[in-house]
A = this chain, B = another copy of it.
Amino acid sequence: MATIADVAREAGVSRSTASYALSGKRPISEEVRRRVLAAAEALAYTPNAGARALATAQTKVLGLLAQFHEDEFAPAMMQYILGVTNTARDLGYDTLLVTEADGVRALRRVTDSRMVDGVVLMNIAHDDARLPVLRAAPQPGALVGFPGDCSGLDVFDLDFEETGRVMVEHLHRLGHRELILVSHPEHVVERGGAYVWRLRDAALERARQLGVILHAAYGESRQPAVGRLLHHLLDTYPAATGLLINNEAAAAALPSVTYERGLRVPGDLSVIGRYSADFAATFSLPYSFVESAPDRLGAMAVRQLVRRVESQAARQEPFVVRFISPELVSRDSTAPPRPSRA
């Protein structure tokens, strides 16, 4: 490959002049600039990323740390990742995708070695062991997800508490007085998935205030367990007229369950989910839902991260915790309740 020295020689100038002509970082005579550009073009010159990184202390690469647990529902993950990679690219960055099981080690490796200019962390646990490492790292970090301690990092997430309230309020307004909430599996909670209890606790609180009975249950992440669970819940609470679903796998499984039971939505049962429009389209889910906006969250995290990476001033700004407000997308799966479902 051609180096900047080759370009300089070809253009008959010094290496520094060639560099400046290419970067535009200082005034260059029109004639020289033309010759340098032509030479670079002729030699198909592309700067060596490692050399540039060494000289500028910038890699133009962002780290994306994601964790994949055996017992999780993977299909929703891809959209978060694409939100990050696509936004990063728009801003001139490439993305190092790190899926190593040992997230702490992985984070240390990519930050200590200066492979990346900044890091986006996904699958945030309430007490995430990676956070102290990221706070101590020289690169800025952004989270998609909400940890117990947000200090020193920019945090982006759906407002799960408001989501829980919105779901309950919507059905209460329609006249429902007994609801079921299906969350993620219990082991997600044990792993510290705050989005589970944040939505649930806020929903329970709001239900209490409104005099609504809310049965909150853990879910399952896979078929056929999740289908069985839905059947079981509908059996157990025959008076419940509304179903809230904070669990992609459960949402995907629900159509066959209602079909099998001969239940009409919303005639016999009102349903509100929480997932992305893309997910809804893929699985053709006919339910009103709160948009979880994975692409937007990824994009927000990256934009803030890049701001901090590129501007000394931005790096001094206070850290932000930004919640996306829940947006209820209507698919007409809610209606006033029948006197009794049973």
> Could you tell me which A residues sit within 8 Å of B by CB distance?
1, 44, 46-51, 53-54, 59, 61, 64, 68, 73-75, 77-79, 81-82, 85-86, 89, 94-100, 108-110, 112-115, 138, 222-224, 227, 249, 252-253, 255-256, 259-260, 278, 281-284
Contact = CB atoms under 8 A, between A and B. Distances in A.
B78 A74 contact: yes
From A51, A59, A253, name the one whose CB has the most chain B CB atoms within 10 angstroms: A51
The copy count of this chain in the complex is 2
B112 A99 contact: no
A96 B95 contact: yes
A99 to B, nearest CB: 5
A99 B85 contact: yes
A338 to B, nearest CB: 24
Contacts of A97: 64, 81, 85, 95-97
Given A75-B78, A282-B75, A54 B46 contact: no
B85 A224 contact: no
User: Which 4 A-B pairs have CB atoms at the shortest separation, nearest pair first?
Assistant: A223-B284, A50-B53, A46-B112, A75-B75
A28 B159 CA distance: 57
Nearest to A50: B53
Contacts of A115: 49, 61, 94
15 contacts: A1-B114, A50-B54, A61-B96, A73-B282, A74-B278, A74-B282, A86-B99, A96-B96, A96-B97, A222-B281, A224-B284, A249-B282, A256-B259, A259-B259, A259-B260
Contact of A48 (B114, B282, B284): B114
A282 B252 CA distance: 10
Of A74, A109, A110, A249, most B-chain CB atoms within 10 Å:
A74
A47 to B, nearest CB: 6
Given A78-B75, A94-B98, A284-B222, A59 B50 contact: yes
B100 A89 contact: yes
A259 B96 CA distance: 44
A81 B110 CA distance: 19
Contacts of A74: 75, 78-79, 278, 282
Contacts of A89: 98-100
A199 B324 CA distance: 45
Contacts of A49: 50, 53, 59, 113-115
